Amino acid sequence: MSSHSRVESQHSWINVLWQTGDNTTPAPKDPHPETLYRPDILQTIEEAIYGLRDGLVALSLEIHAHPELGFEEHYAHAAYTKFMKKYGWHVREHHLLDTAWEATFEHGQRGRVIGVNSEMDALKGIGHACGHNLIGIAGVAISLGLRAAMEKYDIPGKIILLGTPAEEGLDGKVVLLEKGAYKGMDVCLMCHPAPGPLGSVNLGSSLARQRITVEYKGHAAHAALSPWEGKNALDAVVLAYNNISALRQQLKPTHRVHGIIEGTDWEAYTIPENAKLVTYVRAPTRTELQETVKRVLRCFHAASLATGCQIDIDIFGQTYDLRQNQALGDEVSRIMLNKYGSIDYEWGINSASTDFGTVTYNLPALHPSFSIPTIPNGGNHTRQFTEAAATTQAHEQCLVASIALAGTGLRVLTDDDFYAEVSLLAFNPARLQKVPKRVTLI
Ligand SMILES: [Zn+2]
Ligand SMILES: [Zn+2]
């Protein structure tokens, strides 16, 4: 690409981005009301969710003002469980994990079971920079919207709302899946904020991810008096980091390898005897991920050989790519295009990863992203996105995504043919893999 066309593409990228300060109200992109399933029930869901707006926004801002790291979401646990109890839900505190929780509602008998997820954790130093405060209230909104429709139209079914800890790097949902938290759910729904076009919901996938920690053990020495006596673990980790930088040129643009260097008791006057590299490897599919991991491991071993440092590799924390259930996605798409905005496949969390990806391999599930306005280069995991996640527009879009997902859940409860399609599309051996345990690739 020439530098001229690169500038043009940068401009078009910025033009498409819904930016802070643009107060345009999103409009439905392709209204064909005759394609909507039960607009009367959808209306009930919309009224119920908008009727709860003030309480939901207050709850979100409360969580936003009290950011907590993964598995430490005690404030959020208390706030969400109190909220759900207030609405009469059956609540299990500290459900399977200390900061996980479950709120259930059942109406009638022999109905299908809709699972919903509310994330809670924030990022070190920069608060709710992934907008999980919005994901949390989306789960609550979807559940309460569904309940309103089930009661008004006497629709049998059950809702299981799970408060899921530690999405950021610690894979809370994979742990909950292993512990059986998703058992009994017929489908599972959640959503996530991201930058994107005005009023858009993204139905794209996300990357499979493997976390690898490599530790080098060398030998300390006086850095001036007798450096030849040392084996430099810092050199080893720097070489490993640079090997990965060289490898990156030969990786597809869809792949990601990134990490940070850590060390203890480092001082400039001593040859460091320890160093650690925490690395994430990501690729669009699990097969491509495993191929890339093998190449990254060679980068680590080369650094060990060059420096004579011992190497210790720990491969843990795998999450799968997101397998969006197409029937569920089509229903969200119908609702969005008819009533609220547009659909895209380019933005969202496409190049990131989520522990919900592993959930989508185990049951029919959907994890759309919804756009919220932010500034250029102010996407997820930036301080600017933390600000974006607290705005009025972000909350409005969160409620819109919640209505679309609740409407989709409602159809699962009431339309046998639709549910048959949902389960048929999920019944694909590639999607029914076991929950990943520790993987050994060396
Ligand atoms: Zn994140
Ligand atoms: Zn996130």
Distance of alpha carbon 324 from alpha carbon 369, whole angstroms: 11
pLDDT at res. 14 = 73
Find the 168 Cα to ligand 1 centroid distance in Å.
6
Task: Say if residue 429 is exposed, middle or buried (CB neighbours under 10 Å; 0-12, 13-18, 19+).
Answer: exposed
> Which amino acid type is present at position 318?
Q
Find the 394 Cα to ligand 2 centroid distance in Å.
15
Find the 368 Cα to ligand 1 centroid distance in Å.
14
pLDDT at res. 427 = 60
Tell me which DSSP letter residue 322 carries.
P
Distance of alpha carbon 158 from alpha carbon 166, whole angstroms: 25
Please name which ligand lies nearest the alpha carbon of 135. Answer: 2
For CA atoms 14, 19, 21, 24, give the dihedral sign.
positive
Name residues whose C-beta falls within 8 Å of residue 7's C-beta, 6 or more positions apart in sequence: none
Find the 194 Cα to ligand 1 centroid distance in Å.
10
Find the 225 Cα to ligand 1 centroid distance in Å.
46
Find the 123 Cα to ligand 1 centroid distance in Å.
8
Find the 132 Cα to ligand 1 centroid distance in Å.
8
Tokens of 431: 């999607």
Distance of alpha carbon 98 from alpha carbon 293, whole angstroms: 32
pLDDT at res. 439 = 34
Find the 134 Cα to ligand 2 centroid distance in Å.
10
> Which amino acid type is present at position 365?
A
Find the 354 Cα to ligand 2 centroid distance in Å.
7
The crossing angle, in degrees rounded to 10, of helices 392-414 and 39-51 is 140
pLDDT at res. 441 = 34
Residue with tokens 């079971």: 113
Find the 47 Cα to ligand 2 centroid distance in Å.
28
Find the 166 Cα to ligand 1 centroid distance in Å.
10
Find the 119 Cα to ligand 2 centroid distance in Å.
8
Residue with tokens 């996640």: 389
Find the 330 Cα to ligand 2 centroid distance in Å.
23
Choose among 142, 149, 151, 170: nearest CA to 56: 142
Find the 360 Cα to ligand 1 centroid distance in Å.
18
pLDDT at res. 303 = 98
pLDDT at res. 15 = 83
User: For the chain, which residues score pLDDT lower than 50?
Assistant: 1-2, 429, 431-442
Edge-first strand order for the sheet with 112-119 is 90-92, 101-107, 157-164, 112-119, 187-189, 365-366
Please name which ligand lies nearest the alpha carbon of 379. Answer: 1
Distance of alpha carbon 16 from alpha carbon 365, whole angstroms: 28
pLDDT at res. 361 = 93
